Amino acid sequence: MPALRHLRAEGRRMGATPYLSIVIPVYNEEENVRRLQEQVTAAVDPLGIEYEVIYVDDGSRDRSFEILRELASGNPRMRLIRFRRNFGQTPAMAAGFDAARGEVIVPLDADLQNDPVDIPRLLAKLEEGYDVVSGWRQKRQDKGLTRRLPSMIANALIARSTGVRIHDYGCTLKAYRASVLKDVRLYGEMHRFIPAWAALEGARVTEMPVTHHPRTAGKSKYGLSRTFRVILDLMVVRFLGGYGTKPIHLFGGMGFTLCGAGILTGLITLYQKFFEGIKAHRNPLLMLAVFLFLLGVQAIMLGLLAELGIRTYHESQGKPIYRIAEMVNFEKAPAPVDS
């Protein structure tokens, strides 16, 4: 693969600093980890690049971590993190991202459903000049009704509302340039939204079909309920992406609309009183008018509170409201420049 040739040279030059960090969340996968590590080695060793494999044990209650520890004792490329309890796949991935030293980060499921064989292709695609290459499980091997259908709906919703048109947000196997992940803070089931986040921050995102196998050992950790959590998370992402720095525009807009509807309803009530002889206190529209107007005022108040919140959020974390790619003839950058 020509795109990978210069990586090889670079890998040798850099010596110990890995070019690639593979991040694997593990929760009760004792039957899988051994073979997984073999597969990763078989897929990545031939590339001749420096790499590390970071396993994050998310509070497994089986022998996953013992097996990993045993494997890692003979393999310095393997680095392990063990959580005190089960925190969830997203925190596990976040811990791996934080620990990763590579320029490129590739997360992977531990259950052998993703195939490490795809990693070289993802890397090559990334080297064509992308910041995110998203895996697309074109032939997904999961149950149709409880897994594939909800996921299709969620993917369509996410793609529509974020404007980042990739097919498979849920696929863990993706390749990221580390600089893109540096600014992403993950909450909830958010790991699937990283491509959308990244695109909002100005990253170049593309996708590529990847292999997907049925789960042969261990159990899936999720069911139908995840779909609802994903949709709620989507609302958060959409909100932060669209109105994250100007919440009053959303709440204020709603507030004005509601107040306007309240005033209109009030006017109708008055009209009916004076011209149609309907007594206002007998007219249900009066209640509606008051109700709408108060809701509108509430929405505006909520917007003002959100404005306060958003200032705390951006300033306490030193989060700029923009992202700079490059600066010329400046001594000091006002915000960290993405490399």
CB of residue 210 to ligand UDP, shortest distance in Å: 13
Partner whose footprint covers residue 222, from Mg ion, ligand UDP, none (CB < 5 to 8 Å by kind): ligand UDP
CB 181 within 8 A of CB 103: no
Closest to Mg ion by CB, 217 or 264? 217
Residue 221 interacts with ligand UDP (CB under 6 A): yes or no:
yes
CB of residue 39 to Mg ion, shortest distance in Å: 15
Q: What are phi and psi of 142, to 5 degrees?
A: -130, 170
Considering only residues 109, 127, 131, 207, which one is a binding residue for ligand UDP as defined by CB under 6 A? 109
Residue showing tokens 């998310």: 58
Q: Rounded to whole angstroms, how far apart are CA atoms 152 and 147?
A: 9
CB of residue 139 to ligand UDP, shortest distance in Å: 14
Considering only residues 21, 37, 39, 89, which one is a binding residue for ligand UDP as defined by CB under 6 A? 89
Instruction: For residue 199, give Cα distances in angstroms to 10, 93, 107, 323.
Output: 27, 19, 18, 11
CB of residue 182 to ligand UDP, shortest distance in Å: 22
Considering only residues 40, 54, 92, 210, which one is a binding residue for ligand UDP as defined by CB under 6 A? 92
User: Of 96-104, 105-113, 177-185, 206-214, which part binds Mg ion (CB under 5 A)?
Assistant: 105-113
Partner whose footprint covers residue 291, from Mg ion, ligand UDP, none (CB < 5 to 8 Å by kind): none
Residue 113 interacts with ligand UDP (CB under 6 A): yes or no:
yes
Instruction: For residue 67, give Cα distances in angstroms to 30, 99, 106.
Output: 7, 21, 22
CB of residue 180 to ligand UDP, shortest distance in Å: 21
User: Of 104-112, 253-261, 282-290, 314-322, which part binds Mg ion (CB under 5 A)?
Assistant: 104-112
Residue 28 interacts with Mg ion (CB under 5 A): yes or no:
no
Q: Rounded to whole angstroms, how far apart are CA atoms 29 and 92?
A: 14
User: Of 47-55, 81-89, 178-186, 233-241, which part binds ligand UDP (CB under 6 A)?
Assistant: 81-89
CB of residue 213 to Mg ion, shortest distance in Å: 9
Residue 113 interacts with Mg ion (CB under 5 A): yes or no:
yes
The footprint of ligand UDP on this chain (CB under 6 A) covers a number of residues equal to 16
Residue 111 interacts with Mg ion (CB under 5 A): yes or no:
yes
CB 65 within 8 A of CB 28: no
Residue 30 interacts with ligand UDP (CB under 6 A): yes or no:
no
Considering only residues 41, 222, 250, 314, which one is a binding residue for ligand UDP as defined by CB under 6 A? 222
Task: Summarize as ranges the residues that interact with Mg ion (CB under 5 A).
Answer: 109, 111, 113
| Binding positions for ligand UDP, rule: CB under 6 A | 25-27, 29, 58, 86, 88-89, 92, 109-111, 113, 220-222
